[in-house]
Each structure stands twice: as C-alpha cells, then as structure tokens.
Amino acid sequence: MGQDTQAPLSFDEGRALEIIGGLAHLEGAMLPILHALQDAFGHIDARMVPLVASALNVSRADAHGAVSFYHDFRDAPAGRHVLRICRAESCQSMGCERLVEHLRHTHRLTPGETTADGALTLENVYCLGQCALSPAALVDGEPVGRLDEKRLDALLGQLKGARA
C-alpha cells in the first residue's frame, strides 16, 4: 500500500506566480504549468486560473477549460488517500461500473468527492495502461488490478486502518 498523499501547501500567490513564470516560456505551457501547480499545491485553486490566463495571454475561460477538461487536475484538495478507478473501455468491459456502484452504495463514495473526514478521495481515470489487469485502479499512485467487490472492500479496510 502506498504512502499518504503529500500534504498540499495552502494557496500562496507569490509561489504560484514563481511556478507559472518559470514555465510560461515553454511551447504549450498550459499543461506543464497546471501539473506543476497541482504538484506544489495539491490542486488547482480557482485563484490560480486568472494568474495562468494572464501569463499565457489566454482567456480565463480557456484556462478554466483546461483544468476541467483533463481528469488529472482537481479543483479542491484531495483526501489523505486517493483511489482512482479506471472507467475506460477495457475496464468497463470487465465490470468497473459495477465497482463504482458498489463504492457508491456500500461505501458512500462518489467519484470526484472526498469523504467528510478528509480521509479518502475517489476519482475517475481513463486508462492506466493496465488493461490486461482490468478492472484496474490506482491507490495512492500504486496500480492495483483484477479488482472485484471483495478486493475493493479489503483495500478500503487497509486504507481505513492506515488513517488512524
């Protein structure tokens, strides 16, 4: 099982501008900047969007669109653990939707949301390159495959144990 996700920094405009300024010269700088901001802060705070837009001379709508289009970016801090479940074709054909329903009904976990205690975030991902192990997921960045309800329950039990 992986480590807890890194604690995000709170928003710091100076640090955000430093990161943006260091990458703005790149061709196609939007994605590298967003990745660097998320690495530093744990998510893309709404206050970062105008800073990115201004540095790249694009509209706020364009910058916001990039954040919402790519599933890699989150607009709120993640929980201490992150479960990313693959919902692309191969995993769909092997039953990932059933697993998502199981998470929703049995564990009250909905993709895109974090538990009230801040312990766990569930996110969708679209192909992890682990199709041979469908249905697959990432738990704190570590791939897990051939999931079924029982394995998911066990994984969540381990994460709960690690929360203490």
Count helices and strands in the chain by DSSP H and E runs: 7, 5
Task: Name the residue nearer to ligand FES (CB basis): 36 or 131.
Answer: 131
Cis peptide before 135 (omega within 30 of 0): yes
Task: Name the residue nearer to ligand FES (CB basis): 33 or 128.
Answer: 128
- Tell me the sheet residues that pair with 122: 83, 113
Minimum Å distance from CB 96 to ligand FES?
7
Rounded distance, CA 43 to CA 72, Å?
Answer: 10
Binding site for ligand FES (CB under 6 A): 86, 88-91, 127-128, 130-131, 134, 136
Minimum Å distance from CB 50 to ligand FES?
35
Minimum Å distance from CB 72 to ligand FES?
15
Angle (CA) 10-42-88 rounded to 5° is 155
Give the number of other CB atoms < 10 A from CB of residue 47. Answer: 10
Minimum Å distance from CB 88 to ligand FES?
4
Task: Name the residue nearer to ligand FES (CB basis): 54 or 124.
Answer: 124
Task: Name the residue nearer to ligand FES (CB basis): 33 or 100.
Answer: 100
